Amino acid sequence: MSRVALVTGGAGGLGRAIAGRLVAARVVVVIADLDGPGAARAAAALDGAQALTLDVGDEADVARGYAEVDRRFGRLDILVNNAGIMAAEAPPLEAMPLAVWERTLKVNLSGPFLMCRGAIPLMRRGAWGRIVNISSRAARTRSAAGDPAYPASKNALIGLSRVLANEVGADGITVNCVAPSTVETAMTRGQDVDYFARRAADTALGRLGTPDDVADAVAFLCGEAAGFITGAVLDVNGGSFMP
Amino acid sequence: MSGTRVALVTGAAQGLGRAIAERLAADDYAVAVADRAADAAWETAAVLRAVGAVAHAVTLDVGDEASVAAAYAEIDRRFGRLDVLVNNAGISGVRAPVERMALPDFETAIRINLTGTFLMCRGAIPRLRAGGGGRIVNMASMVARGQPGTDRANYTASKAGIIGLSRVLADRLGPDGITVNCVAPSRIETALTRAMAAGNPEHFAAAARLSPLGRLGTAEDVANAVAWFCSDGAGFVTGAVLDVNGGTTTP
């Protein structure tokens, strides 16, 4: 039977590209998203993809989602934690309400924690697994992100990935991060007009990243060929920062 | 033949370099199998040709400026283009604490590993540019990624230097559509390293225990990472270091 992948935030621009790339590698993909109709539309556009309505920040919802994956497939081989948010109108740190801070951490960090925790027993069954967490260039250097919780959450995601890589290596599960620079998606589209031009000018290649650029790196790390890579961070940023 | 992309792999006669050459040949590259060991390079090229690949052996001492120039002239003649350069050739160097390391022992490792990579990149740039872009992949090491090698100042400095060189090149060559990246492997099990550790089986076992995956890396693990950097899909990745170390260190 084909390998089964779950991609969170799968209805968004990046998530759809990742799902598409995995489907092309003959993986059965579950497109999970808070936006159920969006997930259904994204799944309908891909051969062999299925939709799942899921709030990654909600413990009960994640448990329900995995029960559903177990019922449908009885296995999970690949988890891509792509769902993430950036508060649109976040104040500077000194004026930030705790609730705004915690909302970003809930989705960007507790979400992947819950998703990883639930994935491990399923991956252990097959003694094989790939977890790829979508971090950010904002976690690798000074960030232009308006929401201070965003780089904090994306840095913490790298820390979580390293701990998990160490914990589940013996089970044949690898855990890695991809750290993309700005990709034009619905999440970033609210930025001012010059923003994208500046981000493109930051790169050595003189262009913005595309969802496909990120998806290709994710697919590589999810493949058989990347079996000795774990705890690593792969920067997909056009040479805009070289950590 | 002019439509086939050409990859030049240094140190390609055996071990890691040979695995990289085989992997790129499997990805339909014509391969220049460059090595100081001419006979072994010839044999490896013959093995690649036997499975249907286009491959030629090139005799090359990467630390010798004249040899690098001659090798590129031969590649121009044989292949007429260059799309990918993989700087895999390297030596592990004589081990000693810094206070007792002889200058030639320090400089030899720098010469082959770092200056060799510099010379090869310098020669590749106009050729990659002529093709409208390309890929350079340089071989760093875990010793330059937070796990410095004991008594290996020469090797460690050379590998850290390769990362610095790669970043400068990545920054400079981006507008030409040339990406420059590093792969940083941990200890790899090859025929050569197995022979070196023959008297000490615990040597590999100890290295394997350092990885959460509980095994050593293979030449194929590294070759797969190199091949990904060379692929079209990796076009937005430059100046990056990909650690292929089984989680041994997470810089």
**For the whole model, what pTM was predicted?**
0.94
User: Are B243 and A231 a contacting pair at CB < 8 A?
Assistant: yes
The pLDDT value recorded for residue B2 is: 52
The pLDDT value recorded for residue A28 is: 98
User: Are B175 and A206 a contacting pair at CB < 8 A?
Assistant: yes
Evaluate whether residue A242 is within a structural domain.
Answer: no
Evaluate whether residue B228 is within a structural domain.
Answer: yes
Spatial separation of the C-alpha atoms in residues A26 and A3, rounded to whole Å = 8
Per-residue pLDDT of chain B (251 residues; tens, 9 = 90+): 457 999 999 999 999 999 999 999 999 999 999 999 999 999 999 999 999 999 999 999 999 999 999 999 999 999 999 999 999 999 999 999 999 999 999 999 999 999 999 999 999 999 999 999 999 999 999 999 988 888 999 999 999 999 999 999 999 999 999 999 999 999 998 877 777 777 787 888 888 999 999 999 999 999 999 999 999 999 999 999 999 999 999 99
Strands B241-244 and B178-185: parallel
Give the minimum alpha-carbon distance from A169 to chain B in angstroms, rounded to a whole number. Answer: 4
Q: CATH number, domain at B178?
A: 3.40.50.720
Q: CATH number, domain at A92?
A: 3.40.50.720
How far is the CA of A110 from the CAs of A86, A157, A188, in angstroms?
15, 9, 21
User: Are A174 and B213 a contacting pair at CB < 8 A?
Assistant: yes
Share of chain A above pLDDT 90, in %: 86
Tell me which residue range forms the domain holding A74: 4-236
pLDDT tens per residue across span A85-126: 998 888 888 899 999 999 999 999 999 999 999 999 999 999
Evaluate whether residue B204 is within a structural domain.
Answer: no
Evaluate whether residue B226 is within a structural domain.
Answer: yes
Evaluate whether residue B174 is within a structural domain.
Answer: yes
Q: Can you give the C-alpha Rg of chain B in angstroms?
A: 17
The pLDDT value recorded for residue B1 is: 42
Let me know if B72 is a catalytic residue. Answer: no
Tell me which residue range forms the domain holding B80: 6-189+218-243
**Which among A166, A209, A230 has CB closest to B236?**
A209
Q: Which residue has the tokens 């979580």?
A: A160
The pLDDT value recorded for residue B193 is: 78
**Which among A170, A205, A236 has CB closest to B212?**
A170
Evaluate whether residue A243 is within a structural domain.
Answer: no
User: Are B239 and A209 a contacting pair at CB < 8 A?
Assistant: no
A176 and chain B in contact, CB less than 8 A: no
- Partners of A231 on chain B (C-beta within 8 Å) are 212, 243, 247, 249-250
| Structure token pair of residue B163 | 């990362």
Domain count of the fold of chain B: 1
Spatial separation of the C-alpha atoms in residues B88 and B17, rounded to whole Å = 6
What are the DSSP E strand ranges found in chain A?
Answer: 4-8, 28-33, 49-53, 78-81, 129-134, 173-180, 233-236
- Partners of A234 on chain B (C-beta within 8 Å) are 237, 240, 242
pLDDT tens per residue across span A3-21: 999 999 999 999 999 999 9
Give the minimum alpha-carbon distance from A174 to chain B in angstroms, rounded to a whole number. Answer: 8
Evaluate whether residue B141 is within a structural domain.
Answer: yes
